[in-house]
Structure 1
Amino acid sequence: MASSSHRRPRPERRPARVPLVALSAVAAVALVVTLVVAFRPGGGSDDGKDAVSPVAGAEVSASPPAAPTSASPQPSTASPSTTASATAGAKKTPSASARASATRTSTSTSGKSSATGSLAGRIRPGTTYTGVATSYDVGNGDGACSYGPTSDVMTAAMNTADYETSKACGAYVAVHAGGKSITVRITNECPAPCQAGQLDLSQQAFAKLAPLSAGRIQITWNLLSPATSDTISIRYKTGSSQYWCGIQAIGHRNPLARLEVRAGGSWVQLARTEYNYFLSEQGSGCGGAIRLTDIYGEQLTVDGISVKPDAVQPTKVQFTRH
């Protein structure tokens, strides 16, 4: 049944006299109208009973249908921030130039690094340090850096502050006093009462600047990147195995900033000890590829170094001179 809102108002009846001919005409017209209504499409009823209703839950929109999407790609209108958000988490692929740079720095010493000692600690290139020099008997040449006995007497012990947990080990420094200059290599640590800026020189090195009787002299000193024909060597610490190892680099021209090993498909940075070995406590990477990084950011990768405790194994690489 149609709702009351769809019902047509019933016309008000008024008493009136109508001629018979007029009544006949009216009846004929009514008959025609009835027949037309009965035979129209959807026939006979306009009270809404047969109207098509939307399916429950479907959204009915008065807006025209959207135009079909073109098959050709359209330029993106997303802002850079939107694009970055949409691609967050996707693996980035380095450009060809980036890949070439990574390969070059990891396998070759040709060309100078663009860095200027950004990985350096307290001892930085291009900086002049002021302090005092004292002297000591180096004995067989061994020291805190664990390089072992050596016949090289042009060495020095660095004060604890600038030694920086063995980060100064192997560094070459130029020492100046009274118009004279010498070059020494850091192989040892000078604990307190040595102060920041102080160098404890071998007696042989001190004697080139002043008589040993002077005892203590004012100096300035600075980091060097010397010319050398030597290449870097690798040594595994006594007791090393595939389950635990200590690794040391010897003969590097520039101070060493990091030592990493290849383990599980990635590079793992090893912790540096005050006795100048890098430890892999769980054996990760022991006997595998080793990556060395100097304070200028240059990286050298060496492979084929087996775990041979206390054996000095040469490589064919050296850091670039600066």
Structure 2
Amino acid sequence: MASSSHRRSRRPERRTGRVPLVTVVAVAAVALVVSLVVAFRPDGGGDDAAQAVRPVAGAQVSGSPTATPTATATAASASPKPSTASGTPSPTASATTAPSASPSEPPSTKPVARTASGTAPRAGRIRPGTSYQGIATSYDVGNGDGACSYGPTSDVMTAAMNTADYETSKACGAYVRVRAAGGTSVTVRITNECPAPCQAGQLDLSQQAFAKLAPLSAGRIPITWSLLSPATSDTISIRYKTGSTQYWCGIQAIGHRNPLARLEVRANGSWVALPRTGYNYFLSEQGSGCGGAIRLTDIYGERLTVEGIAVRPEAVQATGAQFAQH
């Protein structure tokens, strides 16, 4: 039987009378021939043709033969893109944000003790591992006091540093090994400044120290000298200057193994570096941090924090702490 799409609609016939038998047979024969021709056409309208246009199971039924290919092409083109919901940045976003993130990373401020290599981070003119040439002279140290304001001492193995290398008291407290031309050496501690006509590289030794290298009658001798970080059982002490109060104070560190590069006080939740004077005190002109925590930094970058030092002018207060040996 032909499908509905190929059925022919037939009008109802009006009967007008009797029809001859021959006519009826002829009509039937023609109808049979027509039915056979329709059934055997190349695009015959049988049930097999109808099944060919039905959608297969699982395909999207959109009512249009082109709808499904269009949707498939769109999905395929979208699949390589990263999903927004997954949080995976696109290549463009990564290239934009990566360079901008690195400058915002704050540099590490953790103090690190470094070995004496000649490149100490906070060293001034006098650097570890460096040999300096100059001349040595001598003077009478008296009670041992000097420009570094350490006060009288019985230690006579001391020296005064020339003004250039004294460097506004940065050399104060430094231990220096001095060698004469013949190889004899002596270790001294810098407690004083030797002003002009002392030249850069020159050391004015105590008479006792000079005598270890040459007779005092020699007057001036060529020397080489270098910075030391000696073994010691001493610890650092803190002293507040005469007249210090909570409104103004001068702070001094005594007995440090390595030259002191910085002294800071804790004020308003942050560390404040105090300026250093030529007489080796760090001043807080407005009283910031006076009587509070103190942080000491040596030329190697090591930091020591000291708590509980009261404002007691001229009193030498022990801390029990010391910088590492290098």
- Indicate whether the TM-score tops 0.5: yes
The answer to whether residue 296 in structure 2 is matched with residue 292 in structure 1 is: yes
**One-letter amino acid of the counterpart of residue 233, structure 1:** S
Task: Give the Cα–Cα distance (whole angstroms) in 2 for the partners of residues 166 and 160 of structure 1.
Answer: 9
Structure 1, unaligned runs of 5 or more = 1-63, 106-111
Task: Give the Cα–Cα distance (whole angstroms) in 2 for the partners of residues 158 and 114 of structure 1.
Answer: 24
**One-letter amino acid of the counterpart of residue 82, structure 1:** T
Equivalent position of 1:75 in the other structure:
89
The answer to whether residue 242 in structure 2 is matched with residue 225 in structure 1 is: no
Task: Give the Cα–Cα distance (whole angstroms) in 1 for the partners of residues 89 and 316 of structure 2.
Answer: 60
Q: CA RMSD in A?
A: 2.3
CA distances 1:194-232 after superposition (whole Å, capped 9, x unpaired): 000000000010011111111111111000000001110
Equivalent position of 2:269 in the other structure:
265
Task: Give the Cα–Cα distance (whole angstroms) in 1 for the partners of residues 172 and 95 of structure 2.
Answer: 47
Equivalent position of 1:165 in the other structure:
168
Task: Give the Cα–Cα distance (whole angstroms) in 2 for the partners of residues 188 and 73 of structure 1.
Answer: 66
Equivalent position of 2:199 in the other structure:
195
Task: Give the Cα–Cα distance (whole angstroms) in 2 for the partners of residues 279 and 273 of structure 1.
Answer: 7
Structure 2, unaligned runs of 5 or more = 1-73
Q: For residue 75 of structure 1, report the CA deviation from its aligned partner.
A: 3.1
Equivalent position of 1:45 in the other structure:
none
TM-score, structure 1 normalization: 0.70
TM-score, structure 2 normalization: 0.70
Task: Give the Cα–Cα distance (whole angstroms) in 1 for the partners of residues 156 and 270 of structure 2.
Answer: 40
Is the 1:115–1:297 contact (alpha carbons within 8 Å) kept by the matching residues of 2? no
**Secondary structure at 2:155 match in 1:** coil
Moved over 6 A (4+): 86-89
Task: Give the Cα–Cα distance (whole angstroms) in 1 for the partners of residues 114 and 291 of structure 2.
Answer: 28
Q: Which has the larger radius of gyration?
A: 2
**Secondary structure at 2:227 match in 1:** strand
Task: Give the Cα–Cα distance (whole angstroms) in 2 for the partners of residues 294 and 128 of structure 1.
Answer: 20
CA distances 1:209-266 after superposition (whole Å, capped 9, x unpaired): 1111111111110000000011100000000000000000000000000000111111
The answer to whether residue 287 in structure 2 is matched with residue 283 in structure 1 is: yes
After the TM superposition, which residues 1-322 of structure 1 pair with which residues of structure 2 at under 5 Å, given as runs? Answer: 70-75=84-89, 77=91, 78-79=93-94, 82-83=97-98, 85=100, 101=110, 112-113=113-114, 116=117, 117-177=120-180, 178-322=182-326
Task: Give the Cα–Cα distance (whole angstroms) in 1 for the partners of residues 103 and 187 of structure 2.
Answer: 52
Task: Give the Cα–Cα distance (whole angstroms) in 1 for the partners of residues 233 and 102 of structure 2.
Answer: 49
Is the 1:157–1:186 contact (alpha carbons within 8 Å) kept by the matching residues of 2? yes
**Secondary structure at 1:259 match in 2:** strand
Taking structure 1 as reference, are residues 114 and 227 closer, same or farther at Cα in structure 2, changes over 3 Å only?
closer
Task: Give the Cα–Cα distance (whole angstroms) in 2 for the partners of residues 180 and 88 of structure 1.
Answer: 53
Q: For residue 84 of structure 1, report the CA deviation from its aligned partner.
A: 5.5
CA distances 1:42-84 after superposition (whole Å, capped 9, x unpaired): xxxxxxxxxxxxxxxxxxxxxx9xx9x7433223643466345
Taking structure 1 as reference, are residues 124 and 80 closer, same or farther at Cα in structure 2, changes over 3 Å only?
farther
**Secondary structure at 1:156 match in 2:** strand
Task: Give the Cα–Cα distance (whole angstroms) in 1 for the partners of residues 221 and 173 of structure 2.
Answer: 23
